[in-house]
């Protein structure tokens, strides 16, 4: 079988993963959840076991905690190319998106938001909540590959626009957005620009100076850090936010509650590892991804790639629509074969709703039923790609025989 011999780097990756998976299992749902890097767990452990104090404490334990908190803040800021004082730690990317959108709009008098039709559900529902409260939202369409057209963003901006919110890349179809152009459009009109960077940060060049964003959402787990923690970076002086949670003055009054210090420390380490290791890791994953993108349509009749191609696509992302089958059945059979994948966004899967992303790019409703998504990660090896390309054609053929397409 081609590519069946694991390289030394792949063997090292499997060793690093430790107990998070076994060689017999193939995990290709890093977009849904990433196993935490054991090196990060090692740094977190003392903060869970050694009685480190509350960062607000007026004692040496508190001072140690504040130092650790400030260090993590600086590491996250370096990853997004901004000032450390702009980082607010949250419970995850969903809260960060809510704080960016609802927190900004509620703090000012402008009552209009511009967002794309394929944003993450946390952005969409934040905007819908604003609509219920009398605000206006313009949903900018995308082209057939899921790309937001900068000129459409420019046309959507009004004098009353409080915020432009466009994701860095789509988690269902992998398309990377033209952030620099959109940032120039928003900046020229004096409108704050928010970017949901989950999936893209650490994999695609992103910096406050080059892309012109004013607010940036990050997720720890997407960087192989611990779940349950994220961050919102805000360019100092660019936007005023109203807190969503009322309580103490933690995180400069923007996020009340005792910080989850062990997880925040882990996110800081994850940000540092992403910044230093991803340039090399991106090329490795892109090579594996390209094998999958070429191999699935070649071996599965009726399988079509969704989203952009080449470097306009996330390097770890391969998504398809497969005619004549339902994704749930394919995923169950893949899982029985030891392969974990998804049908798109994990958050959308929970609701059972049809994909708004596939609708927006013009997929036929019958095609949408067969949406498959494979997301690679730090421990993905060539053997894993081989396993998919060997198992998937037979699974699809069997399911089509059982329930032939009308």
| C-beta neighbour count of 245 within 10 angstroms | 15
Sheet with 215-219: strands ordered across: 87-90, 230-234, 215-219, 193-196, 161-165, 112-116, 136-140
340 in helix, strand or coil?
strand
| Alpha-helical segments (H) within 19-120 | 38-49, 60-80, 93-107
How large is the C-alpha radius of gyration of the chain? Answer: 21
* CA neighbor of 176 nearest in space, from 78, 312, 84: 312
**Per-residue DSSP letter, 325:** S
CA–CA dist 205, 141 (Å, integer) = 24
Residue whose entry in the numeric block shows the structure tokens 């329930």: 403
Residue 118 in tokens? 């394929």
Sign of CA dihedral 113, 116, 120, 125: positive
80 is catalytic: no
The active-site residue, picked from 80, 347, 363, 373, is 347
**Per-residue DSSP letter, 335:** H
Active site residues: 347
């Amino acid at each position: 079988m081609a590519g069946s011999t694991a390289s030394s780097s792949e063997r090292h990756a499997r060793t690093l993963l430790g107990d998070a998976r076994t060689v017999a299992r193939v995990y290709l749902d890093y977009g849904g959840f990433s196993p935490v890097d054991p090196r990060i767990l090692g740094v977190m452990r003392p903060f869970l076991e050694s009685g480190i104090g509350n960062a607000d404490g007026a004692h040496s334990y508190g001072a140690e905690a504040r130092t650790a908190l400030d260090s993590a803040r600086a590491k996250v800021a370096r990853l997004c190319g901004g000032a450390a004082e702009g980082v607010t730690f949250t419970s995850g990317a969903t809260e960060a998106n809510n704080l960016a959108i609802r927190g900004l709009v509620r703090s000012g008098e402008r009552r209009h938001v511009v967002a794309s039709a394929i944003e993450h559900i946390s952005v969409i529902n934040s905007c819908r909540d604003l609509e219920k409260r009398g605000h206006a939202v313009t949903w900018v369409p995308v082209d057939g590959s899921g790309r937001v057209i900068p000129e459409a963003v420019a046309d959507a901006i009004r004098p009353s626009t409080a915020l432009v919110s466009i994701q860095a890349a789509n988690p269902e179809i992998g398309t990377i957005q033209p952030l620099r152009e959109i940032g120039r459009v928003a900046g020229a009109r004096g409108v704050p620009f928010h970017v949901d960077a989950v999936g893209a940060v650490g994999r695609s060049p992103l910096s406050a100076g080059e892309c012109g964003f004013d607010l940036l959402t990050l997720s720890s787990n997407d960087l192989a850090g611990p779940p349950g923690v994220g961050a919102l970076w805000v360019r100092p002086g660019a936007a005023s936010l109203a807190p969503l949670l009322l309580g103490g003055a933690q995180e400069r009054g923007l996020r009340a509650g005792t910080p989850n210090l062990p997880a925040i420390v882990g996110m800081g380490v994850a940000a540092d590892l992403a910044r230093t290791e991803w340039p090399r890791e991106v090329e490795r994953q892109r090579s594996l991804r390209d094998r999958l993108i070429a191999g699935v349509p070649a071996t599965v009749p009726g399988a079509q790639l969704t989203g952009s191609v080449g470097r306009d696509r996330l390097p770890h992302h391969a998504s398809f629509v497969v005619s004549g089958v339902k994704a749930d059945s394919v995923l169950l059979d893949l899982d029985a074969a030891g392969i974990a994948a998804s049908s798109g966004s994990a958050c959308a899967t929970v609701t059972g709703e049809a994909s708004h992303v596939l609708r927006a790019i013009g997929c036929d409703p019958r095609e949408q039923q067969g949406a498959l998504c494979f997301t690679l990660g730090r421990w993905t090896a060539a053997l894993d790609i081989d396993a998919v390309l060997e198992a998937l054609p037979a699974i699809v053929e069997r399911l089509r025989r059982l329930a032939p397409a009308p």
